[in-house]
Chains A and B, each alone.
Chain A
């Protein structure tokens, strides 16, 4: 229950802050406009029937002079979207929600990829079909909102490459 209250509180806080963030940034000396964040083509994978979750992947490039942070994400296909970290350590798969989001250093890159950081689509509204595109939005602390289109790759695709042979 306290988890739910906290989630709601965080969501409310983010909702309140998100529109204000770009405005604040613009008043700053070096505005971290959405232009300072570049995204590689985003992708996800077709889901097996009955799957309630999927992972979203892309690389964030921060061309700005200040560090920025991906604080939240939404998508038309999922009721809940979280930013997760995943790793296989000593043969054990571990996954964590990053409640503070994902920081990208000034001039740095952050890769969201299978087996690592990813966008987690939870409570999918419908299965994802190979070949379609699904819309989403990312919210950065400084750069604000960015629209993102996830291309749906085959089940088991290792990356966004189009030359996957399966």
Chain B
């Protein structure tokens, strides 16, 4: 008996080593393939997640609900304190509401005067947050809407108030949102009263820093930050947050979206920005053209845009 076993072990050991070698090479291959041809592997990843995570949803939702319930319960203990706080805030809000109503009326008047039509193509799909990234190093969410609902990579995701992130990775039933706080997130922004363009770069903190700002002197804490629409990624003018300065003097964006509780997200359908590829055609025969050609071109452009 013992002899038989040693023989079988003699075969088993090299076989085991062979299996280990094959496994190791396989994993190395997967990693290198991902490094070389990332989009293909990322598509595969979206596919895998699409299979696995919705299957977990039926347990995930009640567990998340229960834990949130317990957390809410803890906050009930400070009820009186919160009540006071809320009253104070309510007072302030009333003041702001008054200001907002006045501004709204003024805005309506001005819009009417200008005959401005707000972009009617901005419709949205609302999705429920299924899961988060599962690691403290990545900031992303999984939504329960996907290619089935017409979601496309690159669309903007917002909560009720502000921008949350962009779609990156779409499965049949799920889509991943890379949050603005993720360290790979780069969003072109415009800082409102001064109209300066900059980029916010996620760095895994709650308030991403502002980079590539031309003249920081023109920017004050409290300024509104909206998307710039540069590069045609996002529609312009979506609210992101407000400028804040950290103790080191670096400008950061305090995000308007409530990152503590992201439950439902709106994905904005973005039909894409029409790009103008050719210059305007000449309106006058070129033989009669007078003056330098650049001026003439500017003139025709002006005529066109009218």
B is a partner of A: no
Which residues of A are interface residues toward B (Cβ below 8 A)?
Answer: none
Which B residues are within 8 Å of any A CB, using their own CB?
A: none
